[in-house]
Amino acid sequence: MGEVIRLLADLVNEIHDILDKILKVIGIELSDKALHFILFGFMGMFMFLAVNAVFKRISKWSISAISFIYTFTFLAVLALSIEIEQKITGRGNMEFNDIVAGLLGFLALIGVYAIIQGVIYYLKRVYKKGEKSKMS
């Protein structure tokens, strides 16, 4: 896990250096904060437009799908943060498999929840059909 974080950090640093060199070649001098402001602004806006379009489509199908995506994303970030904290403090082992295990736990329980919801939905439909046939 530590190696993955170092690899990602190296990748981010390389991209940062490349962008810095490109901007200097074309005559634009930006502070590190200004570069972050611009990059995060554009990346955030691009992500917002993409996510907004996807969520608008999903919301027509199910708000629960949006709740699932939000929860899964939050748990992934939380699990990664906990693993990084373990590395920094030396309490516990920083392992990618811990993140996977945590997320699989969530997926297992959400699967049970979905099955229960499906059974309830099915029973309601059967009950309503029974009520309609009695009325006829």
Asked whether residue 56 is domain-assigned, the answer is no
Asked whether residue 2 is domain-assigned, the answer is no
Asked whether residue 85 is domain-assigned, the answer is yes
Asked whether residue 17 is domain-assigned, the answer is no
pLDDT at 100 over 90: yes
Q: How far is CA 50 from CA 54, 61, 68, 129, 130, in A?
A: 6, 17, 18, 41, 44
The total of structural domains in the chain comes to 1
pLDDT given for residue 110 in this prediction: 95
Per-residue model confidence as pLDDT tens digits over 8-64? 778 888 888 888 889 889 998 888 788 888 888 888 899 999 999 999 999 888 899
Could you tell me the residue range of the domain that residue 125 belongs to? 62-136
Asked whether residue 94 is domain-assigned, the answer is yes
Per-residue model confidence as pLDDT tens digits over 127-136? 888 777 776 6
Per-residue model confidence as pLDDT tens digits over 62-91? 899 999 999 999 999 999 899 888 888 888
Tokens of 108: 């297992």
pTM above 0.75, yes or no: no
Asked whether residue 77 is domain-assigned, the answer is yes
In which band, very low, low, confident or very high, does the pLDDT at 5 lie, cut at 50, 70 and 90?
confident
H-type alpha helices, the chain: 2-25, 32-61, 63-89, 96-135
